[in-house]
Every structure is written in structure tokens, then in C-alpha cells.
Chain A
Amino acid sequence: MQLLHLALKNVLRSRHRTWVTIAAMAFAGCIMIFYASLLQGWLRSMERNAVDMETGELQIHAPGFRQDPDLYNVIVDAKGVIKRASAAGFICAGRLLGSGLAAADENSTGVSIMGIDPGADDLVTRLHAHVQAGRWLSRKENNGVVIGSKLATILAVRPGSELVLVSQAADGSMANDLYTVRGVLQSVSREVDRGGLFMTAAAFRAFFVLPAGVHEIVLRRALRSESLTAATGRLRALFPNLEVKNWRQLQPTLARLLDLSNVSLVILLLITYAAVGMLTLNAMLMGVFERIPEFGVMKALGFSGSRLFGLIVLETVIQVAIGAALALVTGVPLALYFSVHPLDFSFLLRGSSTIAGIAFEPRWYCEVTGHSVLLPVLFLFGAALTAILYPAVKAAMIRPVAAIHHR
């Protein structure tokens, strides 16, 4: 108690120094919270673009379909699979995949045709929220399609335009029909941008004369608490005769890129933190060395070395606590502000751009997580206490006579 009293008194005595130290720590902490939140947000947005946009967290295919996307290679009992997966805690939607030729006036190009169930698919992916112009498919859409952004440019169409699709139906006949463009997507991924054409599953079945089965089932965990690996394993055990893959396996390049970003995030944080540590160390050293004659007097009066050590540590803890509190008070609102109002770099990126085939978000949102807030605070404490160790030990070991005469 006496020690705490002393420590407080010491902290308050030299206000200038104390406030400079606290301000330095608060500033560093605030920046770290903001920076960590920003990187977290960026990583999350990349992952979300990859996963939520189109891939889903997990996918089920008939064996061999991914190597050779054959119209006939369907998951026959699609309803049963979806039912069982739903019961096992997955949100899922079936998809039909085909290819064909899209033509509008003089322009024509190859397209990947995707038949989806808008009601179910919207719960698994966020494609429906990435419409740039026009609107997303409604559930009862017989002749409406939504297409990728570059495809719209290639065909020179916009919402309301008509396009002709030609392909070969499952019964060998020539599939051809006229469709109206309902919407144009934002940048999603290289494939979707260039050749993605979405229609309802019912329209797909009518076009390709494919009465039953689906080519792909996209899934999402109902509860995020289960790890992706565990969920994949569980699903695999459930459907041993089908190919179950999670997005990390479906998009290994992206998964590796995100892992790498995670590592670089840690490295960047460590560098920032090290700088903060130096700052704290400097302030602490100053505070201790300035007061060496004073410590000499205290020791001469019978203040033991261990108590002196305790005093200095306590002083530091008080300062860090205030600094951390200030960092939280400033950093969290800052990060929260940018989680609503993003840093907008879109003026640097003309049109859309992709990294590893995934749309790159030009707007950076902060994402405030326990991770991005607590880690900087903990590190602040750690850095300050580590930094104070050397001067505190030095003070505790000092010989009173030498200290009193220290200049």
C-alpha cells in the first residue's frame, strides 16, 4: 500500500515526463489497434470474396466432375444429399453447370452457364449482393439471366438487353433460347467476370433438358464455431461416395496467399510493436537514470533493493495502464469508424482487379475483433515491462554512496 502510494506520488511528481511516456504508449497502442483491425478487415474481405461470393465454404461434386465437367456427371440424389447435409448443420444449395455460346447482335463468346436456386443460394453465397447494374435473379425467372461484368462488355449488353444462348442439350438436341439480361455483377472472380452467366435452376433444366440431379452443392457451416477442417471431415464421412472439398482445397493459391498475408501481418505487427517497445524503454530509462541519486538516498535510508525494483515496476504498470486505457479509448472508436466508413482506394484501381483470381476490394474496412484489440494492449504491457526490467534491476543493485554522487 505504501509502495503504491509512493509510486503514484512519483508518477504525478514529474508530470511532463509521465504524460510524454503515457502519450507515446497511447499513440502507439491506438495505431496498433487501428492497423491490426485494418489488416484483419482486408484479410477477411479477401476470404469473404473467395468464399461467400461464389465458392461457398464447402462444395460437393460427383467424383470426377471437377476434372471433367461433364453435363451428365450429376449428383443423382441431390435432394437426399441436401437434406442430410442440412440435418448435419450445413446451409446448402444445389447448382447446375454447363457451357455454351452467348450471342448478342454481332458479338458472341463462350460462357459458363450456372443454374442456381436463388432462394437457397442467397443463404450460402453473397453473389446476390454484388449486382452492379440491374437486379439479381428472382425465384421465378424463366428467361432472365445475370452475367459477369466483363462478359457484359464483350457482348455489349446491359440490363434489359436480349441475348441468345446456344449449346447442346443432354438429349443431343440443339439447345437455344432467347434471354433477357436482368443484372450485371460486380467483379467477382476472373472466371465469373469473363464468362459467368447465371440463370435459375428451372431455366437451366429447361434449356439443357436435364430433368434431375445437380452438378455441385455449395455449403456453409451453420455454426462458425466448428473448424473448417473438422466440418470437411464430418461431411466427407457423411458422403463417402462424393467429392467433398472446402474452399482452401478448391482455391489453394488463394488459401496460401491468405496464410502468407497472415504471417506478414504478424511480422508487421512485431515491427510496429518493437518500435513502440523502444519508445517505452527510452522513456523508462530516462525516468530511472534521472533519479539515481534519489534512489541512492532511499537505499541509504533503508529501502531494500527488491522494494525499489517493485516500486519502479509499479510506476510502469500505472503508466502503461493509463496508456492502454487511452489507446483503447482512441483506437477502438477509430477502428470502428473505419469499419463503417472504409478507406477508399478505388481511385487508384481503374475498373476491377483480381488477386489470385479473386476480386480485390478497393475499399478497406476495419474489422474490430478481440484479436485486433487485445493483442496490441497485451503487447504494450509486455513491451513496457520488458523494457523496464534493465533499469529497474540496475536501480535495485545500486550502491547508495555511488548513487548519491551520481551525476
Chain B
Amino acid sequence: MKRSALLFLFLVLTGLVAGPLFAQTADSDRARAILRKIDDLWRSTSSVARLKMVVKTEHYTRTLVLDSWTKGKEKSLVRIVSPLKEAGTVSLKNGNTMYTYLPKTDRVIRLTSGMMMGSWMGSHFTNDDLVKESRLADDYYPEITYEGVLDGRKIIRLALLPKPDAPVVWGRIVTTVRAGDYLPLVSLYYNEDMVLARTLTFSDIREMGGRKLPVVLRMVPADKPGEYTELTYEAIRFGVPLRDSRFSLLQLRRR
């Protein structure tokens, strides 16, 4: 009798304590899985893509055509195809360093850390976006803050808080994904003072390169709501064999 009572107590206590604990780990596992899904959405072991970038600001609207290559998580290379004036300009990311090749001057410039928050190719994306790309799962603690129906769509909302020693600039990122396939819908970026800095919207989900993914990414800065940069994937192929040498500094000038 006494024994069964103890067993009962044990079961209740472990149930009480461990129940939520298990639930939480399951939840955060799922959250991390969602992040990884976002991280790897546009990459694979390797990827080759053609993109169109439209930059609209108060003073100008420009359209650029870009070619991009990625390999693994560390290497990526973006080359401007048009307009003619900047054609051949290359941004190379290798690990945490970033280089720009300028065909006009035939020079390679290594971007200093002070330049990382600067605009990338005159767009509303920063150089940092390019370098830090695909590392959400490494640098942030995700937490599911909402799960349910919004505007007739089943969604999951995640709040991402940077890990204490993560080399990131955002104070918080709030990402909304589709509940079924975890495809991202919108990400809100908050600065260190927790003020909304910019909004990244994902749209036009379709089949491309054998995957279902949003092909239009639109970045709107919070302080200039009239401006935006819109990236449209025109084609993407995954799992293309690429040599490491393609991402070498030497290769930059040869193109």
C-alpha cells in the first residue's frame, strides 16, 4: 500500500515536471527544424540561380540581373549580369569574409567589418545579409509564439532571440511560416532597441528547381516605407556539382 502510494506520487511528480519539459523540447526541436528549413530553402549541397533584383528608392529605381552560385553553407558568389555599367561585379563570400571584385578597376576589395551593415550593391539588403545567410539556426534561440489561423492560413510564428555571444546585429527576428510545409511568409527584423527596422516578405510560392519555395523576396526598410528591394528567382537548380576553385579569389578576375 505504502509502496504503491509512493509509486503513484513518483508518477505524478515526474509527470508534472517532465510533461512540460518534454513538450518544450519537442516544441523547440520543431522550431529549430523550421529554422533549418528556412536556412536551406534556397541552398542545397550546391545551387545555381538567376535572379532579378529591383531596387526602388526615393531617388531611383533600378533593375539588376544577378547570377548566384552557392556551395555548402560557407561559400557563395553573386555576379551582376546587367546593367552593363556594373556587369561583372562580383561579391564573394567565403566563410565569414566577403570580397568584392570590381571589373572597372580590376581590383578585389576585402570588406571590413565596418562595411558589413552597408548596403549590398545599392539595395536594401546589407552585406551582412549575404555573409550571415543560412545561419539562423546557429545564431538564434527560436521559440514558437503563435500557432493558428491568420487571414485564412494556418501559420506558425517564431520569435528568434540571438544567442548571447552570436555575432549578429538584430535584437529580435519574428518569422512567420506556413504551418504545413514551413515555408516562410514574412520576417520582421528588430534592432537592438527592439524597434522594427525592416520587413522581409516572401511570396509567389511555386515549384522551382524541383522544390516548392517562395520565389519573390521583398525587403522594406521601416524608416522608408516607400522604398523596397525585390529579389525574384527566375531560375534555380540544386545539387549542381561545383568546384571549390569557383569560389577562389583568383577565379574572380578570370571571369
**Which A residues are closer than 8 A to B by beta carbons?**
72, 101, 103, 106, 108-110, 164, 166, 168, 170-174, 176-178
Q: Most A CB atoms within 10 A — which of B85, B102, B111?
A: B102
Cβ contacts under 8 Å, B122 to chain A: 168, 172-174
Contact: B109 with A168, CB < 8 Å? Answer: no
Contact: A178 with B109, CB < 8 Å? Answer: no
Given A103-B107, A164-B102, A166-B102, do A172 and B62 touch, yes or no (CB 8 Å)?
yes
Closest 4 CB pairs of A and B: A178-B105, A172-B60, A172-B122, A176-B102
Minimal Cβ-Cβ distance residue in A for B123: A172
Determine the distance from Cα of A72 to Cα of B104 in the docked complex, in whole angstroms: 25
Determine the distance from Cα of A178 to Cα of B103 in the docked complex, in whole angstroms: 11
Determine the distance from Cα of A171 to Cα of B61 in the docked complex, in whole angstroms: 8
Cβ contacts under 8 Å, B59 to chain A: 72, 170-172
Minimal Cβ-Cβ distance residue in B for A103: B109
Q: How far is the CB of A100 from chain B (nearest CB, A)?
A: 10
Cβ contacts under 8 Å, A174 to chain B: 86, 89, 102, 121-122
Given A72-B59, A101-B115, A166-B102, do A173 and B85 touch, yes or no (CB 8 Å)?
yes
Q: Most A CB atoms within 10 A — which of B89, B109, B114, B119?
A: B109
Cβ contacts under 8 Å, A170 to chain B: 59-60
- Kindly state whether residue B35 has any CB partner on chain A within 8 Å: no
Given A110-B114, A172-B122, do A166 and B60 touch, yes or no (CB 8 Å)?
no
Minimal Cβ-Cβ distance residue in A for B109: A103
Determine the distance from Cα of A249 to Cα of B94 in the docked complex, in whole angstroms: 48
Given A164-B102, A174-B89, do A109 and B112 touch, yes or no (CB 8 Å)?
yes
Given A170-B59, A171-B62, A172-B62, do A177 and B104 touch, yes or no (CB 8 Å)?
yes
Minimal Cβ-Cβ distance residue in A for B115: A101
Minimal Cβ-Cβ distance residue in B for A106: B110
Determine the distance from Cα of A109 to Cα of B113 in the docked complex, in whole angstroms: 10
Given A172-B57, A177-B104, do A101 and B109 touch, yes or no (CB 8 Å)?
yes
Tell me the chain B residues, 18-42 only, with Cβ under 8 Å from chain A.
none
Tell me the chain B residues, 120-142 only, with Cβ under 8 Å from chain A.
121-122
What are 25 pairs between A and B in contact, CB < 8 Å? A72-B58, A101-B112, A108-B109, A108-B110, A108-B112, A164-B102, A164-B105, A164-B107, A166-B109, A168-B119, A168-B122, A171-B59, A171-B60, A172-B57, A172-B62, A173-B62, A173-B86, A173-B122, A174-B86, A174-B102, A174-B121, A176-B104, A177-B104, A178-B105, A178-B107
Cβ contacts under 8 Å, A178 to chain B: 104-105, 107
Partner of B105, one of A101, A171, A173, A176: A176
**Which B residues are closer than 8 A to A by beta carbons?**
55, 57-60, 62, 83, 85-86, 89, 100, 102, 104-105, 107, 109-112, 114-115, 119, 121-122
Main secondary structure of the interface of A (DSSP, over half): strand
Q: How far is the CB of A171 from chain B (nearest CB, A)?
A: 5
Cβ contacts under 8 Å, B89 to chain A: 174
Minimal Cβ-Cβ distance residue in A for B89: A174
Cβ contacts under 8 Å, B83 to chain A: 173
Cβ contacts under 8 Å, B115 to chain A: 101, 110
Given A172-B55, A173-B83, A178-B107, do A166 and B112 touch, yes or no (CB 8 Å)?
no
Cβ contacts under 8 Å, A164 to chain B: 102, 105, 107, 109
Cβ contacts under 8 Å, B111 to chain A: 101, 108
Determine the distance from Cα of A101 to Cα of B102 in the docked complex, in whole angstroms: 13
Q: How far is the CB of B245 from chain A (nearest CB, A)?
A: 22
Cβ contacts under 8 Å, A72 to chain B: 58-59
Determine the distance from Cα of A174 to Cα of B107 in the docked complex, in whole angstroms: 14
Q: How far is the CB of A401 from chain B (nearest CB, A)?
A: 93
Minimal Cβ-Cβ distance residue in A for B105: A178
Determine the distance from Cα of A106 to Cα of B110 in the docked complex, in whole angstroms: 7
Q: How far is the CB of B126 from chain A (nearest CB, A)?
A: 13
Determine the distance from Cα of A177 to Cα of B107 in the docked complex, in whole angstroms: 9
Determine the distance from Cα of A345 to Cα of B111 in the docked complex, in whole angstroms: 41
Q: How far is the CB of A376 from chain B (nearest CB, A)?
A: 54
Q: How far is the CB of A179 from chain B (nearest CB, A)?
A: 9
